[in-house]
A and B are shown apart, each in its own frame.
Chain A
Amino acid sequence: MRPDEAQLLWRLWRGEAKAFEELVNLYKDMVLNLAVRMTGRADGAEDIAQEVFLRVWKALPKFRGECKLSTWIYRITINLCIAEGKSAQGRSEFVPLDEPAVMALPQLRVESDNEYAEEVVLKERMGPLMARMPQHYRTAISLYYLKDLSYQEISEIMGVPMGTVKSYLFRGKAWLRDRLLGREPAQEEM
């Protein structure tokens, strides 16, 4: 734990209201962007981020500094996004991949040499695909590309060995690539 992080935590434990605001300001961007990438949607991500900080606030007395404060906050964000994803699936807010609306989206086989068109198509498809990706692949990819977190940090956040993190990243990217190419993988690990 960094000294400034330890100091902030100490102030939070002592009940300094200003310290909580500092904590929110310190991590709000990371939490929001992680929520966007985990859910594949920008709308509603701010609500999730607010909920994350409320949970942090509630759980602070129990946090004893066993890991970095940021690691703990990312874990809460990921768990909340997973729970939110499940409840959204229950409310049918997520569109399954085999839905006609999704199938109608152009795949990445753009015949022309227009790279810009390909980029647009790719970005259009990324959000819905990320939302449908198996949860552990999505978590690893979201964290890895969030702020170039190291394998070590991701393994601490996800609670799995570094080798498993790498494996999730490779498989996750292969999962995305296969769908962008319209090629269904033989076996999908969920």
Chain B
Amino acid sequence: MILDDAYRRLPEYLDGGLLPHEREEMEKLFGQSPVLREALRVSLALEAALRQQPWLSPSRNFAHAVVKRAAAELPPAVTAWDQAWERIRAGLSVCALALILIFARHPLADFGMAALGGAGTWVGNLTGLTIFALHPIAVLALVAPVVAGGFAGCVLSGRCRLSSD
């Protein structure tokens, strides 16, 4: 290893990146060359200075000032997302309602016809409505589209990937 090469590879030597025989050669050169020794001394001092740089802290009200400036100067960064989310929610609600109507069209039609026909009493209608409301199939018809719609919305909006990252 020539002197120039050793000088150039000094940072690598200090980082422990040279092969054992190269390190040996380098250490021999330190004994022979005052220039290389001086470079080593400065490199060590430099390494220490870089590691001991002062760690500063911002002023006490820094975070408060930033938040205030953000609120004053710019529209909230989340508005776009909020608006998109509102649109998704509205879409999901419409879909859920449509699905409910599809699943429950027969009971609803029967109920409507009975009410319009006036054949039954209002107590009977109320009982029918209560039964419909508590009926497991009716409950499923209400809940399943909302759950399915919510899941689909979550997947489509790409938010689920956060948990897998």
- Listed in ascending order, the chain A residues whose CB lies under 8 Å from chain B are 1, 6, 9-10, 12-15, 17, 20-21, 24-25, 28-29, 32-33, 36-37, 42, 45-46, 49-50, 53-54, 57-61, 64-65, 108-109, 118-119, 122-123, 126, 141, 145, 166, 169-171, 173-174, 176-177, 180-181
Is B110 close to A, CB under 8 A?
Answer: no
Q: Which of B60-80 contact A (CB under 8 A)?
A: 62-67, 69-71, 73-74, 76-80
Count of residues in B whose CB is under 8 Å from the partner chain? 47
Known: A13-B78, A54-B66, A126-B49. A177 touches B57 (CB 8 A): no
Q: Would you list the 7 A-B pairs with minimal beta carbon distance, nearest first?
A: A15-B78, A170-B11, A60-B77, A1-B165, A24-B63, A61-B80, A6-B162
A contact patch SS: helix
Minimum distance in angstroms from A57 CB to a CB of chain B? 5
Is B50 close to A, CB under 8 A?
Answer: yes
Stretch with Cβ within 8 A of A (4 or more), from B39-47, B87-95, B120-128, B143-151: B39-47
Complex interface: chain A residues within 8 A of B56 (CB): 29, 32-33, 36, 42, 45
Contact, CB under 8 Å: A15 / B161: no
Complex interface: chain A residues within 8 A of B51 (CB): 145
Q: How far is the CA of A173 from the CA of B43 in the complex (A)?
A: 8
Q: How far is the CA of A58 from the CA of B79 in the complex (A)?
A: 10
